[in-house]
Structure 1
Amino acid sequence: MDRRTFVQTTGAVGAVGLTGLAGCLGDDNGDNGDDFPSESLTWMIPWGEGGGTDTYARQMAPLMEDPLDQSIEIDNREGAGSMLGSEWLVQQDPDGYTFGTVNPPGWSFTWRAQDVDAWEPEDLEPIAYSGVFGYTLIVNDDAAEDAGGIDDFESLRDAYADDEISGFGYQGAGSDSHLTTLLLREEYDLDYDSAVPYDGGGPTMEAVIGGEVAAGFATNTSAVAAEESGEATAIVNLMDIDLDHVFPDIDPITDYGDSLAWITEFYQVQVAPPETPEEEREVLMDAIQEATEHEETQEWEEETGNIVEFGDMDDAADQYVGSVEEIESQVDESIGGFDEFQRLVEEEEDEEE
């Protein structure tokens, strides 16, 4: 079963349970009533500025302010592969004024890989989802030129093997991006000399643009900005989603092995702190829907190739309720389980020392 089928069929019972629980709690905790929202809101992004998640939020937030009649502040809380921001969100008041974005299944993977025990993904309450995005590989143009040209995965692989380029950037130690980096080495023969973790797509993109590393991860969203800089080029699509309309010459990783979509395609899922009443979440959901359907967002989607897609509260829950179990199964099949992932991480750390 592929991931898209999975997210449509898993967690339906959990979604009902979450929504029902929030509805029951609304009488006790939801004192906002018809006046919600009556003050500004905070949208937490668990990654740094400039990455895919941040870019989507900054497109959507101004268009949500009109239906909400309140301003929205973007609060970037990067670190630990999105876990620091997620943990912060879990601890906020359940009044609807603070919400955030998570990106399952990568978010679910990172939670499991880091053995987080203070909270669980299902603790957060679903609001909506607003888009789909995923990973590409970008290369620094100067490094590519010095190596005699790098324009696809094969030439990238050859450049590393021949020590013509150095450094590979990924998005967060212990994260889904880290696992994908290891899979590229173990299963796709990407023999990079060193792998460097950064806190999200924005910092990783900047590291490639600046030549700090020769190549690395970008979301398809931030890869557009990388190309617009004139310093880097998107060369490999790690998703199954076709990006030819944005990057006409991009090389699909499926030409070199099995699909990686289960760990490289993500949903932009908006969630609220535990016990946030359904009434307040519905107000936010409606504003998100209006923003996704706004003509400015539709034009942005066409110009950038970013995939805007609205899903309601139940659809949002379907993306992450039960997703940890699916991730465990996929990791078992692809790399031998989370213990093997941790072994490879430790082995890599030893090589770096």
Structure 2
Amino acid sequence: MQRRFFVSTVLTMAVLTVAGCGASSGSVADNYPDETITYSIPFGPGGQSDVEARRQEPLLEEKLDTDVNITYKEGAGGAVGWTELVGEQPDGNFISGMNIPHIILQPMTKDDTGYETEQIEPVAIFQGTPIGLAVPSDSDMETLDDFLEKASNEKMTISGSGTYSGHHLAYMQLSHLEDVEMEYIPSTGAADSVQNFLGGNTDAIFANSNDLVNYKDDFKILAIGSEETFEALPDVPTFQEEGVDLTASIDRGVAVPPETDEEIIQILEDTFLEIANDESVQEEMVQEGFEPVAMDAEQAQEYIDEKTTEYEEVLKELGEIE
């Protein structure tokens, strides 16, 4: 217990105060976590970020010995949630799902995003989902060539999650590479995008790999954006195999507010990576159509930096930025 001594001179008080501070100093992470952690999802319920957070929730609570409260802050393709993230206290009690390329593309293309890529402090990346193009199961289009031929003669509408997201980028790249005019119909999240498509509101959809797996009886999948044959959908060709130089994927992880203490980040990083490397978790992810990933904070930052350079070149080629 720190004792306070009342002395007669200001000098003595100052000396004792300094000494007392030095004696009681300790790591800010000594008692972390000491309250409920809010795990914010910047999209609506039911999407990939939510599915993974729900899988992680009981494991996080067990390993961190605290409650974890999952909340949703949807809007503007995730930008509303990431704007909230960068304004929160850097005490480790508020964490947020993060999506790549969203957190790179949005600040790069918009003046009023509300956050900068550099403000997103990555903890780990734990999941990937290649993006595929699908049409209704009863469509007369059988191949990507069929789709592109039809798109060259009439304006096709494509459902996707958010603007300046992985889906939006795939749409822009396909339109540019194949010189076809299409219309992109954004939704607030992947779950809404799928329902929009299943409701007959669009001709096609750019969807995440796990949605392609879950709805494969309702979708006719024309191509997928993985670099190689996707394990969960072995009969689906890649865009490259169909003659289109396109890869497309969304990577997901978790982030904390800027200036969060490194020791707190380390605790969270260790916990998320322990979950990500769990064989049973990985098996579940593969069965559901996800790609398991396990990048630590440093690797995640290097990956974000690498993708930032890559996407800047892509957006310049597409005429989205100067």
- Equivalent pair of 1:138/1:208 in contact (CA under 8 Å): no
Please say if 1:247 is aligned against 2:233.
yes
Which residue among 314, 317, 323 is the counterpart of 2:298? 314
Q: What's the CA shift for 1:241?
A: 4.2
Structure-2 change in CA distance of 1:152 and 1:28 (3 Å): farther
Structure-2 change in CA distance of 1:266 and 1:69 (3 Å): same
Structure-2 change in CA distance of 1:214 and 1:330 (3 Å): closer
Partner of 2:245: 259
- In structure 1, what is the Cα distance between the partners aligned to 2:213 and 2:25? 46
- Equivalent pair of 2:101/2:165 in contact (CA under 8 Å): no
Give unmatched runs, 5+ long, in structure 1. Answer: 1-26, 340-353
User: Cα deviation per residue 1:210-268 (whole Å; 9 max; x = unaligned)?
Assistant: 222121111112222222xx43243320232431x21122132113445333xx22332
RMSD value, Cα = 2.7
Give unmatched runs, 5+ long, in structure 2. Answer: 1-23
Partner of 1:169: 159
Letter in 2 for 1:255: E
Q: What's the CA shift for 1:297?
A: 0.6
Structure-2 change in CA distance of 1:58 and 1:327 (3 Å): same
Which residue among 111, 135, 151 is the counterpart of 2:142? 151
Partner of 1:287: 271
Q: What's the CA shift for 1:321?
A: 3.7
Letter in 2 for 1:236: A
Structure-2 change in CA distance of 1:122 and 1:141 (3 Å): same
Sequence identity, in percent?
Answer: 25
Partner of 2:219: 232
- In structure 2, what is the Cα distance between the partners aligned to 1:318 and 1:91? 23
Which residue among 298, 306, 310 is the counterpart of 1:326? 310
- In structure 1, what is the Cα distance between the partners aligned to 2:253 and 2:48? 13
> Partner of 1:253: helix, strand, or coil?
coil
Structure-2 change in CA distance of 1:166 and 1:336 (3 Å): closer
> Partner of 2:45: helix, strand, or coil?
coil
User: Cα deviation per residue 1:36-65 (whole Å; 9 max; x = unaligned)?
Assistant: 212221222222233333322222232222
Structure-2 change in CA distance of 1:304 and 1:179 (3 Å): closer
Q: What's the CA shift for 1:320?
A: 1.9
Letter in 2 for 1:47: F
Please say if 1:80 is aligned against 2:76.
yes
Instruction: Decide which moves more: 317-326 or 89-98.
Output: 317-326
- In structure 1, what is the Cα distance between the partners aligned to 2:25 and 2:157? 54
- In structure 2, what is the Cα distance between the partners aligned to 1:91 and 1:42? 14
Partner of 2:14: none
- Equivalent pair of 2:134/2:223 in contact (CA under 8 Å): yes
- Give the count of matched residue pairs: 299
Between Structure 1 and Structure 2, whose CA radius of gyration is higher?
2
Partner of 1:55: 51
Structure-2 change in CA distance of 1:241 and 1:48 (3 Å): farther
Please say if 1:296 is aligned against 2:280.
yes
Q: What's the CA shift for 1:91?
A: 0.7
Please say if 1:97 is aligned against 2:93.
yes
- In structure 2, what is the Cα distance between the partners aligned to 1:37 and 1:267? 27
Structure-2 change in CA distance of 1:123 and 1:182 (3 Å): closer
- Equivalent pair of 1:166/1:214 in contact (CA under 8 Å): yes
Q: What's the CA shift for 1:70?
A: 2.1
Which structure carries more helix by proportion? Answer: 1
Letter in 2 for 1:124: I
Partner of 2:169: 179
- In structure 2, what is the Cα distance between the partners aligned to 1:208 and 1:29? 55
- Of structures 1 and 2, the one scoring higher in RCO (CA 8 A, sep 6+) is 1
Normalising by structure 1, we get a TM-score of: 0.75
- Equivalent pair of 1:128/1:285 in contact (CA under 8 Å): yes
Please say if 1:219 is aligned against 2:208.
yes
Letter in 1 for 2:198: I
- Equivalent pair of 1:129/1:268 in contact (CA under 8 Å): yes
- Equivalent pair of 2:105/2:164 in contact (CA under 8 Å): no
* Displacement over 6 Å in runs of 4+: 27-30
Letter in 2 for 1:123: Q
Partner of 2:196: 207
